[in-house]
Amino acid sequence: MDVMGKTVLLTGGSAGIGREIARQLQAKGAAVILTGRDPARLAAMRAEGFEVLAADLSNAAGVDALVEALGDRSVDILINNAGQLIEHDFRKGAPDADAADEGIYANLTAPIRLITALVPRLRDRPQAAIVNVTSGLAIAPAARQPVYCATKAGLRFYTLALREQLKRTSVKVIEALPPVVDTQMNDGNPMKKMPAEECARQIIEAIERGRDEANIGMTRTLRIVESMAPSLARRMTLRF
């Protein structure tokens, strides 16, 4: 798909991987509508020439408000990038159940609800795409992030099933599986981190080339290990 001239709705586009996706798509001639929650970050992206929509995707009202703000505009590409990293580690004390609920909604339910709302208009476009950003941890989990891993695994399987449902339509369904990326979300993570710019570049390349999956960086290695020895892949990630 040639992204030039395409209208893109990008959630979580004011920081991290999303911000780099927005900038690179804009440089290629796409019109990017991005969402976020932080007013200062949204103002900074607006100053770069982006259309921005404030959206809290941790609840149904926030998703519905975003759809309402879009009005009846056509969308060619939906990128579900927004996500929350949820602390849920009993080794450190009792986890916050409310935080888990919000994270589950933001990471899994919100993309499903947004896709449900936008598939009709995506199917009306001659070429369209849905990109769900999951994680290498959707393949094999890390012990300290069980809720995050569960939501990303859930979104991965939703994506696989959705691709089958839409395979005879104009909508390409793509899953992007980043490794650990150098973003605010991963501050304090001692693992080697991929630059956000490179992660974004590979996600956009997957859109342009019409790939089903973008296994990025170390996720590519993890996928190979998991295909041959699933228990070894789990041992590799569970220690983190």
Catalytic positions: 148
What is the C-alpha separation between 75 and 151, in angstroms, rounded?
Answer: 25
Return the residue matching tokens 């998703």: 63
- All residues at 6 or more sequence positions from 7 whose CB lies less than 8 Å from its CB, including other chains: 30, 31, 33, 73, 74, 75, 76, 77
**Strands of 213-215's sheet, edge to edge?**
51-54, 31-36, 7-10, 77-80, 128-133, 171-177, 213-215
Other Cβ atoms closer than 10 A to 39: 11
Tell me which H or E stretch contains 200: helix 196-209
Work out the angle at residue 30's Cα, subtended by the Cα atoms of residues 62 and 64, and round it to the nearest 5 degrees.
15
Token couple for 236: 């590799």
